[in-house]
Structure formats: C-alpha cells, structure tokens
Structure 1
C-alpha cells in the first residue's frame, strides 16, 4: 500500500461493487496518476463491462465526479433496469489542476489505445471494462468537453460515443477545426454518436462571449457531420447543473447521457 496526496492505492476491488472509489495507478508516462472508478452493483471479475471515461474540467480532479454524483443513484438505475451495468472511471488530467489539457501527449498515451492507452489497459485488467469491441465512451465537461471533442475529431470511430458538456474552450477551436478537416471524409462516414450541450446560463457564454459550442456545432453542421446540439434552459457552467438537469420528458440528464452511451454501444 502506498500513499499519494493522501490517496491509498487499491489493489483488490472485490468489496468495491456499487461504490465510487478513488485510488492511484502507476504509469510510464506520468508516474503515479490518481483516478476514480465506479463499479456497478454485483460487479464480478467473471463478467465484462462497458466503460465510460469521464474527463473533468479546469480546477477539477479525480474527485469531481464523486463530488456531484451519488453511487446510490447509479446503483438504483442499474438495479431498476433503467441502465445496464457499466463501469465509469476517470483520471486526474494534470497535477496542476488549472493547466489541465486532455489533448497533451501524455494524456493521449493514457486514454488512446493506439498510443499505449495505459489507463484503458488498466481498466481492462482491473475491472474487466472496455475490452470487448467498441465498448468505450467519453463524457467530458468544460475543458473535459474540449478533450472529448479532440478525441472525437482526431481518432474517428475509436470510441463508441461522445458527450461534451459546456464546451467553452475557444482557444481549442482552430486546432479542432483542423483535425476535423483532416479527417472530414472519415467523420462524415463514421457513425460515432456525438452529443454537445451548452446551458443558457453558462457564465462563460453570458459574460465572456465564449462561442466554442456554437461554432463547433456550426462547423459540424456545415460539413454534414451527424451530431446533436442541445441548449439546456437554466443550466449554468458547473458539471452538477448538467448532470441534474431534467429533460422535457422528465428524465435526469445524467441518466439520459448514460442511456445515450448504452444505445450507441448496442448499435455498433
């Protein structure tokens, strides 16, 4: 057992089913990297599971998801049959939480299998998650959304689905447009579902005129790249406001996201 930033390294997950735990793992690219993992109720080493990767925003870390999402909520959705068992996990994007960039070479080596994918391999070995076919989705918030869109455009078809919440990182647009142009024909023919969301009360949009979500939507639309773009009434910039938003159908947005990923996996 070792300690990093007061985080205890877990090596045995048999008692972690139905919980969100925070731990660390060893990598070649970034040494020790903190991560979180949610394992579904009745998780078993004998079963395989789909994997949803969560990319936090600037100032966030491996504790962001657990701070705003209750394991009991996820457990209920799975136990009630609203959702199939799924593993949700994510790493700390950078030890400098204000400088996190998910498209850095080191993070690509952790999250992209063809670049080594150390965290992907860790999830497959430790949790039996994401190792069967195209069973890996990405869900990102704020700078995490910028990262999710980067992976969507740079590696078409690598992930089964992408959700980007509160994409306001305007400085990433030029490079993302270039990636999109470079892979345009593949993206137009690739059926990877992409869902973009921005809140009507997002402070970065309202007070700083950040246009990334709108301009990315326009770029995709003009180039006939299939996606959905939802403007969520009353939603502010925080991840919790996106997760806890209720749709017109009365469904919590967090569940809607996970069902979106589920449908996308099952259609591939």
Structure 2
C-alpha cells in the first residue's frame, strides 16, 4: 500500500486541477495544465532499444558501490537535512569523481530513487561492463522546508520545490564538495530528475549553466518553465548534454513534447527518448539506464 500511494502521488493525478498556491517571491512559471489527452507525434519514439537481459539485476560477480544516508546543514531551510549518496566501487579519496544530482517527484523524498529505480544496482553493472563512468550520485530532498516529509496534501508543499534551488546551490553542493572527492567544475557536474524533480532539474540545471553542463528531465511535471524561458540557442552552446524522456502513456507527455518541439525549431541539440510506459518507475529506471551512459564527462561529450 505504501508503494501504491507513493506511485499515485508521483503520478500527479490531482494536478488535473490548477495549483491553488503558486510559490511566492521570485515567481515560478505560470501554472501549466497537468494531465492532457495523449497525442503522439511522428518522432515520439525510443532513441535507444530495450535494455539487455539482466540489466537491472544485482550481480554477485562484480564490485559494488556504497549507498549511505548523510546529513548536511541547510542555511536556506535552517535545519539539518538528509540526503542519500552513492559512491562507486573502490571509491578512493585519492581520486576525483564527477557528480550526478538526482531529484525526486512530488510525493517522494531522498529515498525515492533508491526505492523505485535502484541506481546503485544499475550503475554498478554499467561500470563493471565499462558502459558508464564511475561517478558519485547525490539524492537530496527537493522539498526545501523544515518539515520535508511527503505527508498530508503534498501539493500544498509545491512552493518548497522552488525554494530548493537555493538549498541545492548554496548548501547541498558546497557540503558535498567539502566531504567527497569530487571535481568542482561544471563539466563534471550533472543534474536530472523525475516528474516534479524533472521539472526542477530542467529549471535549475538550464538556469545555472555555470554550475551544470549535463541536464536531464524524466517525465517532467507542470512545474517545468515554459520552453522559451528555459533555454536560448546562445545559452545552449554551453551544454554537454540535454536529455528529455517520457512514456507515451503518460498524461504529462505534452510538457516534454512542447520543449522538444521548441528545441527542434531552435536547432538546439538534445536527446529525445519516448518509450511504451506511463508515469511509473519502469520509465524512470530505463531512462536512468541510458542517461548515465551519455555522461562521458572528461572522457568526451555527446551521446553514445
């Protein structure tokens, strides 16, 4: 029942009604419609095939990374906050690692990625097969308020997802880079998210290109800014990768479709990946599997 309730929250069914309480201050984009009838376009197709057999199975014959929960001081919120962290196999403070920040959906928290997607299993397998670069993954709580638990009417807490931009830039990243052996430049820093977190990743990543060079939105939610406010052709030249993906059975598909169409008109390079899924964990798991393989970091740029 716990899993079902969280899935329903992540799916944003209640957002078929317009949000009643948009964030204050530095106003977010105007409310966008959530669920809409699905109308598929000619290029709404997979960019990659189905993953191979065993891609998401934990293997006993390979080295494994470490998944742990840590805390950090948030000046933005005024509390100590939690964050889940994955360090790759054979992590060593003597080496520098690129970083990936993964953001959860409106009904989730810092544990959602590990519970629904198991990125540690997928990345362990990919690293062992030399299909992904060893990296550190940080999974913070994107609800920047003192009570950041996903309880009650989670849609009332939507303003806290906008506030998280400051927490991420001013508190999370500095705390991480003082504690872990990471590269500290934009070329080695990626951000992605699912649903509400997908909107955050696009808003914060594309809005702070001095901080992130690799950006991905999975099944992005209505908090996503309007396309023309997200990225200009001039700014796009700073990107190493822009990834958009969604399921063709997802009522939120139109949000990603709109941004994809804008990018095509503006001739902005990006990856567009549409699969036979809904607003569900199988979509995000497969998106993550292919997305992290594109994060070549210092080894090169561009899609694999």
Q: Provide the TM-score with structure 1 as the length reference.
A: 0.75
1:86 and 2:120 aligned? no
Shift of 1:136: 0.6
Q: 1:172 to 1:81 in 2, by over 3 A?
A: closer
1:177 and 2:192 aligned? no
Return the alpha-carbon distance in structure 1 between the equivalents of residues 285 and 293 of structure 2. 15
Shift of 1:235: 1.3
Report what 1:138 is aligned to: 191
Report what 2:168 is aligned to: 111
1:227 and 2:277 aligned? no
Report what 2:209 is aligned to: 156
Report what 1:53 is aligned to: 101
Is the 1:168–1:211 contact (alpha carbons within 8 Å) kept by the matching residues of 2? no
How do 1:58-73 and structure 2 match up within 5 A? 58-68=106-116, 69=118, 71-73=120-122
Q: 1:65 to 1:130 in 2, by over 3 A?
A: farther
1:242 and 2:276 aligned? no
Any runs of at least 4 consecutive aligned residues in structure 1 with deviations exceeding 6 A, and if so which?
none
Q: Provide the TM-score with structure 2 as the length reference.
A: 0.67
Is the 2:202–2:230 contact (alpha carbons within 8 Å) kept by the matching residues of 1? no
Q: How many residues align?
A: 227
RMSD over equivalenced CA pairs, Å = 2.4
Shift of 1:130: 3.8
1:33 and 2:81 aligned? yes
Shift of 1:125: 1.5
Return the alpha-carbon distance in structure 2 between the equivalents of residues 167 and 133 of structure 1. 23
Q: Mark the runs of 5 or more structure 2 residues left unpaired by the alignment.
A: 1-63
Shift of 1:82: 2.7
Shift of 1:147: 0.8
Is the 1:52–1:137 contact (alpha carbons within 8 Å) kept by the matching residues of 2? yes
Structure showing greater relative contact order (alpha-carbon pairs closer than 8 Å, 6 or more residues apart): 2
SS state at 2:283 partner: helix
How do 1:7-46 and structure 2 match up within 5 A? 18-30=65-77, 31-46=79-94
Q: Mark the runs of 5 or more structure 1 residues left unpaired by the alignment.
A: 1-16, 246-252
1:200 corresponds to which of 248, 254, 258:
248
Q: 1:124 to 1:60 in 2, by over 3 A?
A: same
SS state at 1:225 partner: coil
SS state at 2:243 partner: strand
